Structure 1
Amino acid sequence: MNILLTNDDGIYAPGLWALEKQFSKNHKVAIVAPDRERSAVGHGITLHDPLRASKVSVNGSWGYAVNGKPADCIKIAVLELLDFKPDMVISGINPGANIGASINYSGTVAAAKEAALYGLLSMAVSIQSFDIESYDEAACFTEKLSQDVYKRGLPFGTLLNVNLPDLPLDKIQGISISRQGVKKFSREYYEKRIDPRKKNYHWLGMDMRSYGRDLEIDGDALAQNYISITPIKCDMTDYAIMEDIKSWDIQKKFKC
C-alpha cells in the first residue's frame, strides 16, 4: 500500500516514527506532519498565513514538517506534496487516549477525518498513556489492522478511531468495536494565576472521570484493557430528530 502518516504531536514524535518503522517494511510511506506540538487544535485549517513544508531527516528517514495544523498536513500532502495517491492515511500514534467527547478537540482524529473527506481510508491511533516506553507493538497492531481496512474498505466519510491500553498485546483483554462515549471530564476548571509582570492569566485543568463497564462504549472498554475501535462519520447530521424539527412549522416564522 501507499501510506501517508501524520499526527498532531509534531514531526519528531516517537509514535509517528514507530509507525514509519513498521509500515516501511512492506509499504511505500510518506510522512507529512506538523512542525511542532499541535494537540487539541481540532479540525482547524490555516487560511490567513503562508503554509510552509520543509524536509526533515530523522534516523535516516525523512518527512515534511508543516507549519500548520494536522488537517493542513493532509490537505497539502494530497494536493501538493505527494507524487502518489495514498491508499490509506494513519494519524498517530498519539500519547493519550482520544475517546468520548475529547475526540471533538483532537488534532489526531481531525487529520484522519480530513483524509476521509478526500475519500481516503483513514485511522486515528492512540495509546492510553502519556508515559509510553515503546510504541512498537501498537504500530504492529496498526499495520495488521490496516490490511483488513484496505481489504474490506470503509464508506465515504467514515474513519476508524483506535485506542489501545498501554500494555503488551498479550496482556490486552481483546478488541471492542465500540461507540463514542458522550461524557466529558468529571470536572473542568481554570486556575487563575499571576505572571511575572503581575498580570492575571488562566490555565485550564481537567479531572479524569471514572468509567463504567459497558464494553460498547469506547472509554469503558479501554478502562477494562480492551482495544477500542470506533467507526466515526464526518457527517454530523442528527437524522433521528430531523423529522421532529420539521414538525415545528418553522416556515411560518422566517419573516421578521
Structure 2
Amino acid sequence: MRILLCNDDGYFAPGIEHLARALAELAEVTVVAPERDRSGASNSLTLDRPLSLRRAASGFYYVNGTPTDCVHLAVTGMFDELPDMVVSGINIGANMGDDTIYSGTVAAATEGFLLGVPSLAISLCSKAGEHFETAARVACELVGLLQRQALPEPALLNVNVPDVPYEQLRGQVVTRLGKRHKAEPVVRTLSPRNETVYWVGAAGGAQDAGEGTDFYAVQQHQVSVTPLQVDLTHYAQLALVRGWLAQ
C-alpha cells in the first residue's frame, strides 16, 4: 500500500512526523508538505508562479505552496501511479464545523478525493498537542480498516481526535458537522511604523453542538469521523430560486 502524507502545518511539524512513523508500519509513505505553516489556506492553488519540490534531510519532500498544491503536484506530477490513499495531518487543533471550509488540513485530503483517491484528514483537538500518539494510532486503525474492507467508493473522511491518552478514548462515532457562532471581529492595532493593521479575530464558539455533531463527540472523548462531500449545491433552494428568477 502506498500513502501520500501531507499537512498544513509544514513538513517540520511534530504531527506529520508522528504520523509518518506510525503509518510506515503499514505502508510505503511519501511525505509532501508545505515548506512553512499554511494553516487556513483552504483549497487554494498557486497559479501565479511556479512551484518547487525539494527534499529535506528527514526524507520529507516540501513545496513552496499550499497543502492543495502539495497533493496536486505529488499525484499529477511526481507519482507514476495514483497512491492508494491520501492522509493529511496530524493537525494541531480541531477542524470541526465551519472550520472545515478554511482548513488546509481538510483541503489537502479534499484534493486527494477530487483526484479519485480515498482520503483522511486527521486533527488533534487542542493547541497543546500533548497526545499525537493517540491521533496517530487512530489514523493507523482507520487506514488498516480501509485496507481490509475498502468502501465501495472513494471517501473523504474528516477525523477529529480528542487530545487525551488513547486509553481514555470512548470509541469512534460517525458524526455530522456542527456549526459555530459568528467569528469574533477583527482586532485593529498599530504596527511599529504607526500604521493601522488588522488581525483576523478568533473563531466563534460552538453553536450547533448537540448530540450527533463532531463538537459533541469530541467533548465526550469520542473520535469524530465525518464523511464529507464537495458538492456545494443547496438542493433545497433549487425550486425557490427557479421561482424567483421566473417572476
Report which stretch shifted further, 219-228 or 113-122.
Answer: 219-228
Counterpart selection for 1:173 from 170, 173, 177: 170
Q: Which has the higher strand share?
A: 1
Counterpart selection for 1:69 from 66, 69, 75: 66
Q: Which residue of 2 aligns with 1:244?
A: 240
In structure 2, distance between residues paired with 1:2 and 1:216: 33
In structure 2, distance between residues paired with 1:110 and 1:154: 22
In structure 2, distance between residues paired with 1:237 and 1:124: 23
1:82 Cα deviation after fit: 2.2
Q: Which residue of 1 aligns with 2:230?
A: 234
Aligned partner of residue 69 in structure 2, secondary structure = helix
1:213 Cα deviation after fit: 6.3
Which amino acid is the alignment partner of residue 35 of structure 1? Answer: E
Q: Which residue of 2 aligns with 1:42?
A: 42
1:121 Cα deviation after fit: 0.3
Q: Which residue of 2 aligns with 1:199?
A: 195
In structure 1, distance between residues paired with 2:153 and 2:215: 24
Q: Which residue of 1 aligns with 2:31?
A: 31
Counterpart selection for 2:124 from 111, 123, 127: 127
Aligned partner of residue 201 in structure 1, secondary structure = strand
Unaligned runs of 5+ in 1: none
1:110 and 2:114 correspond: no
In structure 2, distance between residues paired with 1:11 and 1:184: 32
Determine which structure has more spread, i.e. the larger CA radius of gyration.
Answer: 1
In structure 2, distance between residues paired with 1:154 and 1:245: 34
* 1:151-230 equivalence runs, <5 A: 151-153=149-151, 155-156=153-154, 158-184=155-181, 187-206=183-202, 209-210=205-206, 214-230=210-226
1:43 Cα deviation after fit: 0.5
Runs of 4+ in 1 over 3 A off after TM superposition: 210-213
In structure 1, distance between residues paired with 2:242 and 2:203: 40
Which amino acid is the alignment partner of residue 180 of structure 1? Answer: L
Q: Which residue of 1 aligns with 2:90?
A: 93
- Contact in 2 for aligned 1:101/1:184 (Cα 8 Å): no
| Cα distance change of structure 1 residues 137 and 203 upon mapping to structure 2, 3 Å threshold | same
Which amino acid is the alignment partner of residue 228 of structure 1? Answer: S
Aligned partner of residue 180 in structure 2, secondary structure = coil
Which amino acid is the alignment partner of residue 198 of structure 2? Answer: H
In structure 1, distance between residues paired with 2:188 and 2:120: 38
Unaligned runs of 5+ in 2: none
Which amino acid is the alignment partner of residue 170 of structure 1? Answer: E
Which amino acid is the alignment partner of residue 137 of structure 2? Answer: C
1:210 Cα deviation after fit: 4.9
Query: Number of paired residues?
Result: 246
| Cα distance change of structure 1 residues 57 and 224 upon mapping to structure 2, 3 Å threshold | same
Which amino acid is the alignment partner of residue 232 of structure 1? Answer: L
In structure 2, distance between residues paired with 1:15 and 1:154: 30
Which amino acid is the alignment partner of residue 18 of structure 1? Answer: H
- Contact in 1 for aligned 2:7/2:91 (Cα 8 Å): yes
In structure 2, distance between residues paired with 1:210 and 1:168: 24
* Deviations 1:85-142, CA, capped at 9 Å, x for gaps: 2100000000000001111000000011111001100010001111113412211210
Aligned partner of residue 100 in structure 1, secondary structure = coil
1:12 and 2:8 correspond: no
In structure 2, distance between residues paired with 1:200 and 1:218: 38
TM-score by length of 1: 0.90
- Contact in 1 for aligned 2:124/2:162 (Cα 8 Å): yes
